[in-house]
Structure 1
Amino acid sequence: MTAPRTPLSADRLTALTDRLHEDGIIGLPGAFTRDWVRRLGEDVDTAFTEARSRPDGAVGRGPNRYYVEIHPEQLGGFAELASHPWITAVAEAVLGPDYRIVEVGFDVPLADAVDQPWHRDFPMPEETSRHRRLTSLAVNVTAVDTEPDMGPFEIAPGTHWDDGAAFEHGMFPPKDAYPRYRELAVRKFPRMGDISIRSALTVHRGTANHSAKSRPVLVLGLDAPDADNSARHDTAVTRGFLASLPESVRAHLVCPVVDTLLPITQKHTIEGLVMGASDS
Structure 2
Amino acid sequence: MTYLANSVEPLDFPIPDGADAEVVAAVTGLYTDGIIARKGAFSREWAQRMAEDIDVAFKEALSRPGGAVGRGPNRHYVEIHPEQMSGWLELVDHPWVRMVCGSVLGPDYQFVELGFDIPGAGAVNQPWHRDFPMPEETRVGGRLTSLAFNLTAVDTEEDMGPFEVAPTTQWDLPEGFDHEMFPPKSAYGRYEALAQRKYPKMGDISARSALTIHRGTQNFSQKSRPVLVLGVDAPGAGNAEHHDMAVTRKFYDSLPERVRNHLSCPIVDELTPITQKHSIEGLMMGDA
Q: Same fold (TM over 0.5)?
A: yes
Paired AA for residue 30 in structure 1: G
After TM superposition, give the deviation of residue 127 of structure 1 in Å. Answer: 0.2
Residue 11 of structure 2 aligns with which residue? none
> What corresponds to 1:249 in structure 2?
259
In structure 2, what residue type is equivalent to 1:205?
R
Q: Tell me by how many angstroms 1:14 deviates.
A: 0.6
Query: What does residue 52 of structure 2 align with?
Result: 42
Give the Cα–Cα distance (whole angstroms) in 2 for the partners of residues 107 and 74 of structure 1: 15
Partner residue of 1:118?
128
Unmatched tracts of structure 2, length 5 or more = 1-18
Match of 2:14 in 1: none
1:72 partner letter:
P
Q: 2:211 aligns with which of 197, 201, 225?
A: 201
- The TM-score with structure 1 as length reference comes to 0.94
* Corresponding residue for residue 96 of structure 2: 86
- DSSP 3-state at the match of 1:57: coil
- Give TM-score, length-normalised by structure 2: 0.91
Structure 1 residues not aligned, in runs of 5+: 1-8
1:40 and 1:76 in contact (8 A); partners too: yes
| Pairwise CA distance, 1:78 | 0.5
- The counterpart of 1:102, out of the listed 87, 92, 112, is 112
Partner of 1:65: 75
* Contact 2:70–2:286 (Cα < 8 Å) also in 1: no
CA deviation map 1:176-231 (0-9, x unaligned): 00000000000000000100000000000000000011000000000000201011
**Contact preservation (8 Å) 2:70, 2:281:** no
2:274 aligned residue = 264
Residue-by-residue CA offset, 1:138-178 (whole Å, 9 max, x unaligned): 00011110000000000000000000132110100011000
Residue correspondences, number:
269
Distance 1:245 1:268 in 2: 31
Distance in 1, matches of 2:286 and 2:204, equals 28
Q: CA deviation at 1:241?
A: 0.6
The answer to whether the 8 A contact 1:117-1:276 is kept is no
1:138–1:197 Cα contact (<8 Å) kept: yes
Task: Give the structure 2 partner of residue 218 of structure 1.
Answer: 228
What is the aligned partner in structure 1 of residue 164 from structure 2?
Answer: 154
Instruction: Return the alpha-carbon distance in structure 1 between the equivalents of residues 139 and 127 of structure 2.
Output: 23
Q: Secondary structure at the match of 1:191?
A: coil
Q: 1:166 is paired with a residue of what secondary structure?
A: coil
- 1:131 is aligned to 141
Does structure 2 conserve the Cα–Cα contact (< 8 Å) formed by 1:116 and 1:276? no
Identify if the C-alpha distance between structure 1 residues 84 and 273 changes in structure 2 by more than 3 Å, giving closer, same or farther: farther
User: Aligned-pair distance for 1:276?
Assistant: 4.9
Q: Partner of 2:164: helix, strand, or coil?
A: strand
Shift of 1:268: 5.4
CA-based RMSD of the aligned residues comes to 1.3
Distance in 1, Cα, partners of 2:281 & 2:49: 32
Give the Å deviation of 1:13. Answer: 1.6
Q: 1:31-55, CA deviations, whole angstroms, 9 ceiling, x for partnerless residues? A: 0000000001000000000000000
* Letter of the 1:118 counterpart: W
- Runs (4+) of structure 1 exceeding 4 A deviation are none
